[in-house]
């Protein structure tokens, strides 16, 4: 069979239909149950400002394809940068070969061709041009580092960074999936290192949105610098926290990393497949305190984890994971549905064409509750208030940990002195029933999640929540 040539326009659109249909038909004729082709083009800009100088401008662009073939519950996946007919054909044949299949001139494909393209990118064609260009981005970053200088004290290093990631994807599969989208993610971060003698404090914040070309223009550099400098000033002279078991109140926004790490990952079907989640057989059962309702969705406008369609061509959904403490469903992708029976939720995601999609979180948060943040703090005699969280991770036995970037002691229902060096440690199935109070101030925060299908854009979030008892690592 002679491969149809891909188009030469450089744009991923319906002109690719003949070439894609050819590949899909070849794969099906070889005996594959399903063949999926993921094409992408990317355009990245990174800018770094240090002190009052632009020290790095890093443009990057690329293209590639990921071809995945399913046979029964098995799959083979091959990625390539070579989008020529021969390159794509070679990738398909390698993927088929992994499953013991081979292309044949005589095979019947049973593939009826692709339907009309579902083009989610139709109104997004000018996004890249509407984003700030290098000159404007550098000016905004320098405004940020200047604000750090104006608002901070004892600052040994000031950094501002900007990243713009544009991605065009075209996804076709032999089940009739044929979709196109353009994604745009921008984030800007400010970091400082404050030092005074032996006292040191490093503080950073990152803000991110999706699909908003004007985002950097709207960024409030003054407010961001005030937040970073305020935290650094507080933490510079903070004592190390004393280790132990105690109640904790976690602030909203990035405090949601606790749910993301502690529970969210365990509700991905990849964990069900591996047998590494304690919740595998517990749909319909109580796994958390009745105060907890948790959502994963890809719909919130401008949120970092939102998407028009996932990386398997399925439209995003709002998925209620936990309702009043009861497990409702798992986050699932194509392979997850095939291997675990949990229906797809529009959550098949990947960093790039070099990864096969997997079930991954999008915008994931604990829903708002009835209390005020002050009520949560007032309910604690002695504990820890986690105003700002750092990163975290979850291990193969469900044990999680994450760092507290800015913490305060709670004594007799009041916030008292700042403390640093705290790490929260626990296991999801033990901690989830201890989230006993949720406040009414739900907010989301942008983040990056690294897992089996690479590093992806996500949102974490929550209102202020109270955990009745958690292990705090310290000194």
Partner 1 sequence: MSSHQATSGNGLNAEQLRNSLASIAASNGIRRWDLGAACSTDISVQVDRGEPKQMKGAQRSSITVRVWNDAGLVGVTSTSDLSETGLERALTGAKEASAFGNPDDIPAFSPLATAPLATLDQPIHQPQGILRLLDTLKGAEQELLARHDAIATVPYNGLAERSSERIYLNSDGACRQQQLSTASLYLYARAEEAGRKPRSAGAVRLAYGASDLDVAGCIHEAAERTISHLNYAPIETGRYTCVFSPEAFLDLIGAFSGLFNARAVLDGVSLSNRDSIGETLAVPFLDIHDNGLHPGNIGASAFDGEGTPTKRLALLEGGVLRNFLHSEATARAFGVSPTGHAGMGAKVSVGPDWFEIGTTPGSDGGQAGLDRFKAGEAIVWIDSLSALHAGVKASQGSFSLPFDGWLIQNGEPRSIEAATVAGDIRQVLKAIVGFEGEAKITPDGLCPMVWVEGLSITGEA
Which one among 23, 32, 99, 410 touches partner 1, defined by CB under 8 A?
A: 99
**In angstroms, what CA-CA distances link 342 with 34, 123, 238, 292, 402?**
18, 33, 47, 22, 29
Q: How buried is residue 285: exposed, middle or buried, by Cβ count under 10 Å (0-12/13-18/19+)?
A: exposed
Residue 324 interacts with partner 1 (CB under 8 A)?
no
CB nearer to partner 1: give 120 or 408.
408
The only residue of 324, 393, 414, 416 in contact with partner 1, by rule CB under 8 A: 393
Strand ranges (E), 133-284? 155-173, 178-196, 199-210, 239-240, 244-250
Does residue number 234 form part of the binding site for partner 1 (CB under 8 A)?
Answer: no
Stretch touching partner 1 by CB under 8 A, among 219-227, 290-298, 316-324, 388-396:
388-396
Dist. CA 365–CA 371, nearest whole Å: 17
Q: Which of residues 246-305 bind partner 1 (CB under 8 A)?
A: 273-276
Piece of 145-153, 242-250, 299-307, 407-415 that binds partner 1 (CB under 8 A): 242-250
User: Of 424 and 465, which has the nearer Cβ to partner 1?
Assistant: 424
| Residue 119: CB minimum distance to partner 1, A | 22
445-451: long-range contacts, CB 8 A cutoff, minimum separation 24? 445/253, 445/254, 445/256, 446/187, 446/206, 446/207, 446/208, 446/209, 446/303, 446/304, 447/206, 447/208, 447/254, 447/257, 447/260, 447/304, 449/260, 449/360, 449/361, 451/265, 451/268, 451/270, 451/358, 451/360
Does the protein bind partner 1 through residue 172 (CB under 8 A)? no
The partner residues of 455 in beta bridges, in order of sequence, read 450
Contacts with partner 1, 140-159, as mask; x by CB under 8 A: ----------------xx--
With CB under 8 A as the contact rule, which of the stretches 91-99, 116-124, 282-290, 301-309 interacts with partner 1?
91-99
Exactly one of 103, 161, 306, 354 binds partner 1 (CB under 8 A); that residue is: 354
In the DSSP assignment, the letter for residue 439 is B
Q: Residue 40 or 297: which CB sits closer to partner 1? A: 40
Asked if residues 362 and 300 have their Cβ atoms less than 8 Å apart, the reply is no
233 binds partner 1 (CB under 8 A): no
Q: Does 416 bind partner 1 (CB under 8 A)?
A: no
Is residue 125 close enough to count as binding partner 1 by CB under 8 A? Answer: no
Q: Which is nearer to partner 1, 17 or 319 (CB)?
A: 17
With H, G, I as helix, E, B as strand and everything else as coil, classify residue 144: helix
Q: Tell me which of 153, 245, 324, 416 binds partner 1, using CB under 8 A.
A: 245
Element (H, E) at 128: helix 127-130
Output DSSP code: residue 406: E
Q: Is 78 in the site for partner 1 (CB under 8 A)?
A: yes
Handedness of CA 385, 388, 392, 394 (dihedral sign): positive
Neighbours of 214 (CB within 10 A): 12
- Does the footprint of partner 1 cover residue 35 (CB under 8 A)? no
Among 20, 232, 249, 356, binds partner 1 (CB under 8 A): 356
Name the minimum Å distance from CB 53 to partner 1.
6
Q: Does 475 bind partner 1 (CB under 8 A)?
A: yes
The nearer residue to partner 1, 61 or 176, going by C-beta atoms, is 61
The nearer residue to partner 1, 110 or 275, going by C-beta atoms, is 275
Both tokens of 30, joined, read 């070889």
Measured from the CB atom, is 9 or 412 closer to partner 1? Answer: 9
CA–CA separation, 399 vs 321, rounded Å?
20
């Amino acid at each position: 069979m002679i491969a149809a040539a891909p188009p030469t326009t450089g744009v991923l659109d319906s002109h690719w239909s003949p070439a894609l249909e050819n590949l899909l038909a070849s794969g099906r004729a070889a005996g594959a149950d399903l063949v999926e082709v993921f094409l992408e083009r990317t355009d990245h800009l990174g800018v770094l400002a240090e002190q009052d100088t632009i020290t790095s401008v890093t443009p990057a662009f690329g293209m590639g394809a990921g071809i995945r073939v399913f046979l029964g519950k098995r799959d083979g996946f091959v990625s390539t940068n070579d989008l020529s007919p021969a390159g794509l054909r070679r990738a398909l044949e390698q993927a088929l070969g992994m499953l013991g299949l081979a292309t044949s001139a005589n095979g019947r494909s049973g593939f009826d061709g692709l339907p009309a393209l579902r083009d989610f990118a139709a109104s997004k064609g000018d996004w890249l041009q509407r984003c700030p260009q290098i000159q404007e981005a550098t000016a905004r970053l320098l405004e940020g580092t200047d604000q750090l200088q104006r608002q901070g004290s004892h600052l040994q290093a000031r950094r501002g960074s900007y990243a713009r990631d544009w991605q065009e994807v075209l996804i076709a599969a032999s089940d009739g999936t044929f979709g196109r989208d353009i994604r745009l993610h921008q984030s800007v971060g400010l970091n400082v290192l404050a030092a005074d003698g032996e006292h040191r404090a490093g503080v950073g914040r990152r803000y991110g949105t999706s699909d908003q070309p004007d985002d950097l223009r709207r960024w409030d550099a003054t407010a961001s610098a005030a937040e970073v400098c305020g935290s650094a000033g507080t933490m510079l002279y903070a004592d190390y926290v004393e280790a132990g078991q105690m109640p904790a109140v976690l602030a909203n926004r990035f405090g949601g990393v606790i749910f993301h790490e502690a529970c969210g990952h365990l509700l991905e079907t990849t964990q069900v497949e591996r047998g590494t989640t304690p919740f595998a057989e517990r749909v319909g059962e109580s796994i958390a305190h009745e105060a907890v309702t948790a959502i994963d969705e890809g719909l919130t406008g401008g949120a970092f984890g939102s998407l028009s369609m996932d990386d398997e061509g399925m439209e995003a959904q709002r998925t209620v994971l936990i309702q009043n403490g009861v497990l409702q469903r798992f986050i699932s992708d194509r392979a997850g549905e095939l291997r675990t029976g949990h229906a797809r939720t529009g959550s098949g995601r990947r960093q790039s064409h070099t990864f096969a999609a997997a079930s991954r979180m999008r915008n994931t948060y604990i829903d708002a509750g009835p209390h005020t943040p002050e009520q949560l703090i007032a309910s604690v005699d002695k504990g820890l208030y986690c105003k700002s969280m750092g990163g975290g991770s979850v291990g193969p036995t469900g044990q999680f940990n994450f760092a507290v970037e800015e913490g305060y002691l709670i004594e007799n229902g009041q916030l008292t002195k700042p403390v640093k060096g705290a790490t929260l440690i626990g296991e999801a199935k033990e901690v989830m029933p201890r989230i006993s109070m949720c406040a009414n101030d739900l907010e989301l925060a942008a983040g990056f999640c690294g897992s089996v299908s690479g590093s992806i854009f996500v949102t974490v979030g929550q209102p202020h929540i109270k955990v009745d008892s958690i292990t705090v690592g310290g000194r």
